[in-house]
Structure 1
Amino acid sequence: MKEKIRFSGLHPEMDIVYLATSVPRKCGIATFTKDLADSISDEVGGLPYRVTALSESTNGYDYPPQVTFEIRKNEIRDYARAAEYLNGSSAQVVSLQHEFGIFGGEAGKYLGVLLSYLRKPLVTTCHTIIKNPAKEYRESFERVIEFSDRLVAMSPTGVEILRTIYGVPENKIVLIHHGVPDVPFVDSNFYKDQFGVEGRTVLLTFGLLSPNKGIETALDSMPAVVERHPEVIYIVLGATHPEVRRHSGEEYRLSLERKVRDLGLGNHVVFHNRYVDLQELIEYICSCDIYVTPYLAKEQITSGTLAYAMGAGKAIISTPYWYAEDMLSDHRGIIVDFGDTKGLSDALVNLIEDPVMRNKMRKKAYEFGRLMIWREVARRYVELFQEVLKEREHREVREVWQARMFPQATLPDIKLDHLLALSDDLGLIQHAAFGIPDRDHGYSADDVARGLAVLMTYYNQVKSPAILPTVRTYMSFLKHAQTDTGHFHNFMSYDRRFLDQEGSDDTLGRVIWGLGTVVRWGPNQRLRHLAQNLMEKALPKLELVESPRGKAYAILGFHHLLDRFAGASRFRWLLEKFADDLATHYKAHRTTYWHWFEDILTYGNAKLPEALFRAYQDTGKEEFLEVAVESLDFLTQTQWNGVYFELIGNEGWYPKNGEKATFGQQPVDAGYLVEAYIAAYQVTGKDEYLDSAQYAFEWFLGRNRLNEALYDFADGAVADGIDSSGISANQGAESVICFLMALIGMSEFRSQRLMASQPESPEITTSLNLTRYAAAH
């Protein structure tokens, strides 16, 4: 098993990217996103986060470092590029803040381009939900629903609309309230002197100013209130909405100021035309006695301003938009009808004159607001993200899985490009970051040995002299890696320093496997003799091997050596001893339902039964065959779900009496399965093993849980696995080696079968041109 390389310092279980507008843009979604992201970061121990930001300004914004990607609102290509960028990132979850106005295209349809390409888990917070949408808005929002793992509604009405109007299943909807700052329940008089309103009854409305805020209604109600209570002052806090200012300048604000003059309210209404920071906003809210939201539109599913006022425990009067009806029920506030000037003035007077009722209302609002403070909201989101990630691990996808590839009548051409790109004049670099050799992690004898096995198997088929310089390089590395005791160092840094005294049993076994292929198929006697000498020098250490996998790898090396030197009695004795040991391991751990060599299934599992099939070929011992068949069938039963192989993940493995890990699936297991099934067919002649070999191979090509190919047809690179965040961006040596071993094995076997069925055809050779083979077949 290879070390799992990550290219981010983020916690693997809570690596979040927010898709939204971002500060410093003056936008409610941007503010919400920052507050949410900061709160979640605090909840998970201060981990950093990233934002993919929607931008309108052609010059962009002076974004904070959290913004790592920008989408220009009206550039459709940016949406596709953003999806590609997110897919290539280490993000575990994408948190989408959805509101129609912030995305480009008709009704925001450009967002659908991004979502259709996105391969990350998606949690969408619905800031806008339209009950009776126009066709284009409905279609746009239904695309968001389709691609979201969860939809967050911020009110019960939002939940109900999603369920009844859009047909969203209840288990896909989560109610999480709009977050609010955690502020103390204090007397408003404590803050009034900061704003020069001490001794006055303060009414407040805040937020970006636009015609739908209903400020006119509040102003028209003020004369009757002032007549009874001349100490009243109404503060309208907030800059004009950028969209309003872009199209109409300050025309709307000036019309309100004219209305104030016309109503004679100059001493009772104050406009603060600016965008205040959070601390100043909290102080304004705390200074008010009554908060007013006189909005004009019924279909407002959320309101951050109302939420903030509730969180601060304010007495609230509002018009009956959806969010207000939900939040102010149970006497947490007062509702007056849209445009009802008299109703609003009466409600204000009653609240001013009845401090008992006002304080009771404040307490109810504050108690409910405790559910909405950012700490609690962040905790709910963290739980939701973890739930979605866990669900992805255990989601049953067989019934909805659809192949994205055609059945493989042919196999891909064998491309050694990536393997050779990882090879230099010293050996084989073991890791690759996004396909580029990663020198930071140096070399390993594990990979060099298995790379040698690939090249020798390939050479046996095509006799290509072009690969021989690389073969000599690999042999030179292994000779240098062998210690005086006969064992082998495993890890070497890029500056040519060995990093260990000697490798593990598995390292020794893998080297013997690779050297055995050289003894069997080496292009000249000198190489074959060197491989033989290295194997013989390792004999004292081989006799001490305890690891079952180390023994299995070594058996394969012995099997290759014995094919050329059947009389090599010491190696034959060791092969039979190791096979006996494996059979003994199997009997010790086997139960009625658990047919395996250990009490846990981990990595490289199929090499154990494969080794016993080869041992049976060399010894004829029936016990080896029985254990090989039963254990391989158990592996199949454990991992084949009827549609694709669900390999055992390295994020927990599969212990006896435990749960099988889903993610961290590795190419090594798919590749080894292919080789084991080919060995099983060669020994038993059962066609079912050929089918299994094909399906296991197709795991690389997209027959897998994510329905995505790990193999890159362009350069022959292979992704390092299937993680909860998607296909790994890394393409290391082990992955391409195991793919090539499987591909070469499949192609050689098909060619041999074809030759057997059409021995007279001059067109059929052992060539790896499988297109020609397919046509002939």
Structure 2
Amino acid sequence: MKIAFVATYPPRQCGIGTFTHSLAHAMKNNGDDKNEIIIIAMTDNHEVYAFPPEVKLIIHQEQQTDYLAAADFINRSGAEVCILEHEFGIYGGQSGVYILPLLHRLHIPLISTLHTILENPSYTEKAILQQICKMSDKLVVMSHKAIQFLEGIYDVPSEKIIRIEHGVPDIKFDKATSRAEFKLTDKKLLLTFGFVGRNKGIETVINALPQIIEKHPEVYFIVLGKTHPNVLRSAGEEYRNYLQLLIKTLNLGNHVLLLNEFVEEKELFKYLAACDIYITPYVNEAQITSGTLTYAMGSGCAVVSTPYWHAAELLTENKGRLFDFKDENGLVKVLNELLENPEMLKTIQKKAVVYGQDIIWPKIGERYLQLAERLIAEPAKPEPKKDSAIDLLLLPTFSLAHIKRLTDDTGIIQHAKFGIPNLKEGYCLDDNARALLMVCMTYKQKKNALALELMPVYMSYIHYMQNTDGTFRNFLSFNRNFLDEVGSEDSFGRTIWVLGYLMGHAPNDAYYQTARLIFFDASPNFEKLKSIRGIANTIIGICYYLNTNPSDDEMKMCLVRMTDVLVEHFEQNQSENWNWFESLLAYDNGILPLALLHASQVLENKKAKNIAFEAMRFLTSHTLKDGYLSVIGNRQWFVKDKERSIYAQQPIDAMAMVLMYHQAFVVTGERGYLEKLFTSFMWFLGENDLRMSLYDFETKGCCDGFEDYGVNRNQGAESSLAYLISHLTVLQAYEESYHSQELNREETN
């Protein structure tokens, strides 16, 4: 069997790396050398490591393209299974989000070993771990508490989880020989090891020592470990200096040794062999797995620990002793009792030895191998047959809660800090136009009372922002001061779009007449527009108007002329392998083919229709080629003959794709467009380059997009409205598809 590992790896000094090395070689050495391992090793902070030969590829932690290259490498390597060692801090991006695209691209079974499972994760941490769990075939954890968390907090099905304990090396040293080597023959050795930081609680032991030494002057305490690299970068040796000062203050210089070393495994086990009592005095319970604790028990040490999760679970049945967090007196009591009762100490040590024999690395490696073999042997699951291209069960419950939160009696606030309205940024025409479109769609489909209640708020904002010449201002401060004289052509076009839509779907005559008044006051400006997106949005609004007013020949001629402008832009910019309206793919791209699809229906214009589909195929080839939507990022737009931008992807671009494919389905009746529509919608729910959901199930808002570091958690109006309009379009498309199928059945019968 060929096994790929993604993790840190020696000589990088990291507990996960040590674990990976031990597990990989335990799996390799099981089965008469028939197994082969390949390591995909993580590096950090531009460090250069002399990796051993089994490391076949390196991922630089903050280099996103390395993760994608690693996925391709693993898929081509002949590996039959991949094992991910997961810890948030070792992968790049916000909370290690860069690992998700790698996992998504794997074509082989995935086992993920979870070294950290948080009880109170941040939004991003929870979302990332849930995605890892979703993409993994099996999840390995090392404690029962971890299983409880995965099932209760992260909603992971129990059949996906398996508990395999942390392994320990099968290394044994003679106690007397080791003590003699370290010149500790006449000492009682207390030991702790691992990376040093304030969460380790070492000061609790130091503060307890004077009372212990008073009865047992032969006690000697060794702290074996370097300062944690993250602590070193942020605070230097502040904690170690504090411990040194504490040792000096308590006059413990002859009883405590701080060894600032990362020792090799064999050396470590010599210290463990020499140890009388091993102590883990961690300061809080939130540690689901402790490799140091497992090593100490596995080597036969009597362990005294605070009751963090892993210790509380492991030290049952007299396999060790517990004392409370930061409880110096409790520690004094436990240590004095053990030091004064050698038989009690030996009983605990014997139980630890028995426990350790079951978790030596060869046995742990064999369990991982058996798990991998079962996964490889499982037949590939057939794709479930879908009755529809759209799966409504995947849609969150439709909710206007966040929109209501953003809306006051003036209009919808354009920005938010996380899910809270940011009043400092005020209002804009763009968002109030989108909001009016969304509530019109909502009321049309759902007869939602809140949508009807919000409709006049957005309508009155649009009316208030219209100038006497029919143009519109865009921005309004929170205290209702105008912030511009004339808004963008994009905002103009979006406003015409919703006015045209409202005239076709007004809930009563007052809304219709108001929309008509504003629309025709603006109409002298239609053909003055220069921006092709402003033109496209306006075309869509005119088409909605003409759908219910087909005899307006003057407006139809305006539509002809504006459509010709888009057609001309396409013909001027089209070249071999570039079928588009500009020399770049920028923002809101789907709106351009969408406008021509609408116009071609109203005008029965074959040329416009053909160009719409040609442009749509071109856009699809660059954004939907890997089975999910990857819209053009706004960091650097996709200039012809140059590299496209992946990041700074925004919800309005996904909405435009949803609307474009919906209109293509309306025009053609081809179900393939429904599949593309639904794939584009799923961008909001995590089927994207980052594998992260932008929809916030708590606030019912939508995040503003994602950057290279992760999701932008602000949930402004534009993003949340883009999500809701897309959601409503999916529901509408599903209904249309259902009725289409029913008609086909009737015709067949």
The TM-score, its normalising length taken from structure 1, stands at 0.51
Aligned position for 2:655: 671
SS of residue matched to 2:455: helix
Counterparts in 2 of 1:615 and 1:276: CA distance versus 1, 3 Å? same
* Native 8 Å contact 2:497 2:542 kept in 1: yes
Mapping for residues 320-335 of structure 1, pairs under 5 Å: none
| Counterpart-to-counterpart distance in 2, 1:561 and 1:295 | 76
1:550 to partner: Cα distance: 0.5
- Give me the whole-angstrom Cα distance separating, in 2, the residues matched to 1:535 and 1:293: 75
Is the CA contact (8 Å cut-off) linking 1:79 and 1:111 kept in structure 2? no
Give the corresponding residue for 2:559: 575
CA deviation vs aligned residue, 1:549-591 (integer Å, no higher than 9, x gap)? 1011001110111112223334322222221111111122222
Q: In the alignment, what sits opposite 1:528?
A: 512
Q: Deviation of residue 680 (structure 1)?
A: 1.0
Q: 1:296 to 1:108 in 2, by over 3 A?
A: farther
- Which residue does the alignment assign to 1:299? 267
Question: What letter is aligned with 1:726?
Answer: G
Residue 738 (1) aligns with residue 706 (2): no
Whether 2:459 is the aligned partner of 1:475: answer yes
Would you say 1:695 and 2:682 are equivalent positions?
A: no
Which amino acid is 2:616 matched to? L
Q: 1:296, CA displacement in angstroms?
A: 11
Give the conservation status (yes or no) of the 8 Å contact 2:186–2:218: no
Answer whether contact 2:537 2:595 (CA < 8 A) is retained.
Answer: yes
Deviation at 1:513, TM superposition (A): 0.7
Task: Identify the residue that residue 527 of structure 2 maps to in structure 1.
Answer: 543
Q: 1:448 to 1:88 in 2, by over 3 A?
A: farther
2:122 to 84, 99, 102: 84
Alignment of 1:627-666 (within 5 A): 627-666=611-650
Structure 2 Cα separation of the partners of residues 292 and 435 of structure 1:
45
Q: Using a 3 Å threshold, how does the CA distance of structure 1 residues 241 and 473 change in structure 2: closer, same or farther?
A: closer
For residues 255-310 of structure 1, give each alpha carbon's deviation from its aligned partner in whole angstroms, at most 9, with x where no partner exists. 599xxxxxxxxxxxxxx998458xx9xxxxxxxxxx99999984369xxxxxxxxx
Structure 1 residues 588 and 219, CA gap change in structure 2 (3 angstroms): farther
Matches within 5 A, 1:724-763: 724-758=708-742
Shift in Å at residue 465 of structure 1?
5.1
For the residue of structure 2 that corresponds to 1:487, the secondary structure is: coil
Q: Residue 415 of structure 1 contacts residue 715 of structure 1 at CA under 8 Å; is this kept in 2?
A: no
Once residues 415 and 80 of structure 1 are traced to their aligned partners in structure 2, the CA distance between those partners, rounded to angstroms, is 29
How many angstroms apart in 2 are the aligned matches of 1:273 and 1:453? 63
1:554 corresponds in structure 2 to 538
Is the CA contact (8 Å cut-off) linking 1:664 and 1:721 kept in structure 2? yes
Give the aligned residue type for 1:137: H
Residue 508 in structure 1 maps to residue 504 in structure 2: no
User: Does structure 2 conserve the Cα–Cα contact (< 8 Å) formed by 1:212 and 1:297?
Assistant: no
Aligned-residue offset at 1:541? 2.8
Give the match's secondary structure for 2:118: helix
Tell me what 1:456 maps to: 440
Partner of 1:409: 391
Q: Secondary structure of 1:425's partner?
A: coil
Once the two structures are TM-superposed, the CA of residue 676 in structure 1 deviates from its matched residue by 0.5
- CA distance in 1: counterparts of 2:679 and 2:672, whole angstroms: 11
Q: Tell whether the 8 Å contact from 1:702 to 1:709 is kept in structure 2 after alignment.
A: yes
C-alpha change, 1:701 and 1:86, in structure 2 (3 Å) is closer
Aligned pairs for 1:246-265 within 5 A: 246=208, 249-250=212-213, 255=218
Q: CA deviation at 1:609?
A: 0.2
Determine if contact 2:390/2:674 at 8 Å carries over to the other structure. no
User: Which residue matches 1:216?
Assistant: 183
**Structure-2 separation of matches of 1:760 and 1:295:** 74
Contact map agreement 2:390 2:734 (CA 8 A) in 1 = no
The size of the alignment, in residue pairs, is 458
Q: Secondary structure at the match of 1:722?
A: strand
Which of 656, 662, 670 lines up with 1:686 in the alignment? 670
Contact 2:674-2:733 at 8 Å conserved across structures: no
Question: Residues 243, 276 of structure 1: CA spacing in aligned structure 2 closer, same or farther, 3 A cutoff?
Answer: closer
Q: Is the deviation greater in 550-559 or in 562-571?
A: 562-571
Tell me how far apart the structure 1 counterparts of residues 181 and 539 of structure 2 sit (CA, whole Å). Answer: 82
Deviations, residues 74-103 of structure 1 (Å, cap 9, x unaligned): xx999624532664999xxxxxxxxxxxxx
Matches within 5 A, 1:272-283: 275-276=243-244
Residue 567 of structure 1 aligns with an amino acid whose one-letter code is: S
| Superposition map of 1:306-455 within 5 A | 408-410=390-392, 412=395, 413-455=397-439
Alignment partners' CA distance in 2, 1:245 and 1:530: 78
- Structure 1 unaligned blocks of 5 or more: 1-18, 21-35, 45-51, 55-75, 91-104, 119-134, 140-160, 166-210, 221-238, 258-271, 281-290, 302-399, 762-777
CA distance in 2, matches of 1:273, 1:760: 80
Mapped partners of 1:88, 1:721: distance in 2 = 18
Structure 1 position 419, deviation (Å):
2.0
Closer/same/farther in 2, CA of residues 297 and 244 from structure 1, 3 Å limit: farther
Secondary structure of the corresponding residue to residue 683 of structure 1: helix
Compared CA separation, residues 734 and 241, structure 1 to 2 (3 A) = closer
SS at match of 2:267: coil
1:312-368 CA deviation, whole Å, 9 max, x = no partner? xxxxxxxxxxxxxxxxxxxxxxxxxxxxxxxxxxxxxxxxxxxxxxxxxxxxxxxxx
The one-letter code matched in structure 2 to 1:611 is A
Asked if the contact 1:432/1:733 (under 8 Å) is kept, the reply is yes
Q: Which amino acid aligns with 2:622?
A: T
Structure 1 residue 638: Cα displacement: 0.4
TM-score, length-scaled by structure 2: 0.52
2-structure distance, mates of 1:590, 1:255: 86
1: CA distance, partners of 2:524 / 2:185: 93
Summarize deviations over 1:186-231 as a string: whole Å, max 9, x none.
Answer: xxxxxxxxxxxxxxxxxxxxxxxxx9997638999xxxxxxxxxxx
Contact 2:433–2:458 under 8 Å retained in 1? yes
RMSD: 5.1
Q: Which amino acid aligns with 2:475?
A: F
Check conservation: 2:436, 2:455, Cα contact below 8 A.
yes
Offset, 1:490:
0.9
Q: 1:213 to 1:444 in 2, by over 3 A?
A: farther
Structure 2 partner of 1:720 = 704
Residues 430 and 734 in structure 1, CA contact (< 8 A), matched pair in contact too? yes
Counterpart of 1:137 in structure 2 is: 166
Quote how far apart the aligned CAs of 1:743 are.
2.1
Q: Residues 602 and 117 (structure 1 numbering): CA distance in 2 closer, same or farther, change over 3 Å? A: farther
Q: 1:417 to 1:246 in 2, by over 3 A?
A: same
Shift of 1:641: 3.0
Aligned to 2:256: none
Contact 1:84 1:117 in 2 (8 A): no
Q: Structure 1: how far apart are the matches of 2:741 and 2:660?
A: 23
Once the two structures are superposed, what CA deviation does each residue of 1:400-454 show, in whole Å capped at 9, x if it has no partner? 9x99xx9853263432222222222111111222222221221111011111112
Q: Deviations over 1:39-81 (max 9, x none)?
A: 9xxxx9xxxxxxx999xxxxxxxxxxxxxxxxxxxxx999624
In the other structure, the counterpart of 1:484 is 468
Q: Say if 2:527 and 2:562, in contact at 8 Å, map to a contact too.
A: no
Provide the secondary structure at the position in 2 that maps to 1:83: coil
Against the structure 1 CA distance between its residues 274 and 626, is the aligned structure 2 distance closer, same or farther, given a 3 Å change threshold? Answer: closer
Identity over aligned pairs, percent: 30
Q: 1:745, CA displacement in angstroms? A: 2.0
1:566 aligns with 2:604: no
**Cα distance per residue 1:601-634 (max 9 Å; x no partner):** 1221100000000010111121211110011111
Shift of 1:673: 0.8
SS at match of 1:216: coil
Q: Residue 537 of structure 1 aligns to which amino acid in structure 2?
A: D
Worse-superposed segment, 499-508 or 569-578:
569-578
